[in-house]
Amino acid sequence: MTLARRIIPCLDVDAGRVVKGLEFAGLRDMGDPEELAARYNREGADELILLDIAASRDGRATFLETVRRVAQQLNIPFTAGGGIRRMEDGHAVLRAGADKVTVNTAAVERPELISELAAQFGSQAVVLSMDVKKTHAGWEVFIRGGAESSGRDAAAWAREGVARGAGEILLTSMDRDGTCSGFDCGLTATIAAQVSVPVIASGGAKTFEDFLAVFGEGQADAALAASIFHTAEHSIDALKKYLAGRGVPVRLSQ
Amino acid sequence: MRVSIIDYGAGNLPSVERALRSLGAETECVTKPEQIAAARALILPGVGHFSAFVTGLRERNLTAALRQALAGGAPILGICLGLQAMFASSAEAPGECGLDLIHENVQALPTNVKSPHIGWNQLRRLRKSILLRDVPDDAYFYFAHSYAAAAGEPHTAAACDHGFPFAAVLEHNNLMAVQFHPEKSGEAGSHVLRNFLEWVR
């Protein structure tokens, strides 16, 4: 009996569609959120994360409608976020059917947001999302979709977030994100050793071996990926069978 | 088959409702003592803080009605915090009283394990279980909690180990409860809900 390592597909959504950000060419359409959610639910995903990457004020209603529609498709846990600035934003996302809410930039700017959400909804419903990049100062937290340095040290911020009530950490390596060169196991293991809550590794997944490494050397509790699942390059079921064959505890579909 | 889901103001009711409806049950959300008294079968879902939970029940005058219905043998399924609420008290909210149907206390998970206990875990069967009937022994269920009730006689039908062996499936006369979220536990979770509905029927 062991707590299974989780495989979590992530849907980045903009205006009701799943998209993939391309470095210089804007966004590529990856499909319909409901259809992808239903597919992942069927294929054995352990959880789903939905992120509003546009996160504009006027797109809020559209995003909540997407949350509502996706929730209908799932009988697995479901996290949503992107642009959560106030308590009411978090409440709206949970009311629309998400089980957990992620906070990022707004929590860095006003850390009390984490405490407020945790007090109201419980730590198990609050995921602190951190975008981290290696700089001359060490591992630094970036905000506004990675556009701006916050000047905060990643390990210190992770500890503070957990002390304030975050129940999980979604850790994205900006150095690896979109590079297909594997998860940053060094970063993941460093943060995992600093906090008492589960850490979800994100950024850089390409091969099955990348997942094996992040659960081993990286000490991750869960691993997130987007495009490799959307394009059906890898099926979640095949990935889990691979991991199970190498001694990683995973939940295989019955 | 009509199931009454107790709405104390904070739980994530839609996913529980959806899961039960997909199994053919009719659901209603109840907020009044007389609705609890009239219910054929009750569901007590729960997320959040123990204190908000028991306060929510009390402010809606549901505590006494619930205790009375359960003493009268009404079948109930508690989910997550709904399991913990059946106990006398919780370390999460010292001074607050639970429903005290089981005269023991809910404890914090120890500091030598990750807390919250979030994710999919397996169960250890302690005896024949109604809720786990025909569910594979190695099935995984989704947990999300920082507090738990120690597994014990005579109430625990299956335990889960995370820091200490805790009550994951509780079956005690008309009281049924699970520490995991069956509505979020895929096929295995749906099987547990189906077993509850069949037992009530």
Mean pLDDT of A182-199: 97
Inspect the interface and report whether the beta carbons of B184 and A76 lie closer than 8 Å: yes
Inspect the interface and report whether the beta carbons of A4 and B142 lie closer than 8 Å: no
Whole-structure pTM value? 0.95
d(C-alpha A209, C-alpha A99), whole Å: 30
**Minimal Cα–Cα distance from B127 to chain A, Å?**
17
Element (H, E) at B81: helix B81-84
What is the DSSP secondary-structure string of chain A? --PPPEEEEEEEEETTEEEEEETTTEEEEEE-HHHHHHHHHHHT-S-EEEEESS--GGGHHHHHHHHHHHHTT-SS-EEEESS--SHHHHHHHHHTT-SEEEE-HHHHH-THHHHHHHHHH-GGGEEEEEEEEEETTEEEEEETTTTEEEEEEHHHHHHHHHHTT--EEEEEETTTTTT-S---HHHHHHHHHH-SS-EEEES---SHHHHHHHHTTT--SEEEESHHHHTTSS-HHHHHHHHHHTT-------
Q: Is A4 near chain B, with CB under 8 Å?
A: yes
**For residue A62, what are its two tokens?**
């559209």
Q: Is B136 near chain A, with CB under 8 Å?
A: yes
Rg of chain A (C-alpha set): 17
Mean pLDDT of A217-240: 93
Q: Residue A253 above 80 pLDDT? A: no
d(C-alpha A65, C-alpha B163), whole Å: 39
Inspect the interface and report whether the beta carbons of B47 and A254 lie closer than 8 Å: no
**For residue A186, what are its two tokens?**
């060094």
pLDDT of residue A23: 58
- Domains, chain A, ordered by start: 6-245 (3.20.20.70)
* A176 neighbors A218 (Cβ within 8 angstroms): no
Higher pLDDT among residues A102 and A54, named by residue: A102
Residue whose tokens read 């096929």: B187
- At residue B131, the 3 state secondary structure works out as coil
pLDDT of residue A232: 84
How does pLDDT run along chain B (201 residues), one tens digit per residue?
Answer: 899 999 987 666 888 999 999 999 999 999 999 999 999 999 999 877 898 889 999 999 999 999 999 999 999 999 999 999 999 999 999 999 999 999 999 999 999 999 999 999 999 999 999 999 999 999 999 999 999 999 999 999 999 999 999 999 999 999 999 999 999 999 999 999 999 999 998
* A50 neighbors A79 (Cβ within 8 angstroms): yes
Mean pLDDT of A120-148: 94
| Cα atoms in the 13 Å half-sphere on the side-chain side of A229 | 32
* Chain B contacts in chain A segment 30-49 (CB below 8 A): 41, 46
pLDDT of residue B24: 96
pLDDT digits (tens, 9 = 90+) for A40-77: 999 999 999 999 988 666 678 899 999 999 999 999 99
pLDDT of residue B11: 62
pLDDT of residue B99: 94
% of chain A beyond a pLDDT of 90: 83
Q: How confident is the model at residue A254 (pLDDT cuts 50, 70, 90)?
A: low
Question: Looking at the predicted complex, does its ipTM rise above 0.85?
Answer: yes
Q: Residue A25 above 70 pLDDT? A: no
Residue of A nearest to B115 (CA): A197
Inspect the interface and report whether the beta carbons of A71 and B115 lie closer than 8 Å: no
Q: Residue A168 above 90 pLDDT? A: yes
Whether A58 sits among the annotated catalytic residues: the reply is no
Residue of B nearest to A1 (CA): B122
Closest Cβ opposite residue B114 in set A75, A196, A254: A196
* Chain A contacts in chain B segment 62-121 (CB below 8 A): 111, 114-121
Closest Cβ opposite residue A97 in set B15, B161, B188: B15
Instruction: Tell me which fold the domain B2-200 belongs to.
Output: Rossmann fold (3.40.50)
pLDDT of residue A245: 97
Read off the DSSP letter of residue B183. G
d(C-alpha B87, C-alpha B81), whole Å: 10
Whether A131 sits among the annotated catalytic residues: the reply is yes
Element (H, E) at B200: helix B186-200
Q: Residue A252 above 80 pLDDT? A: yes
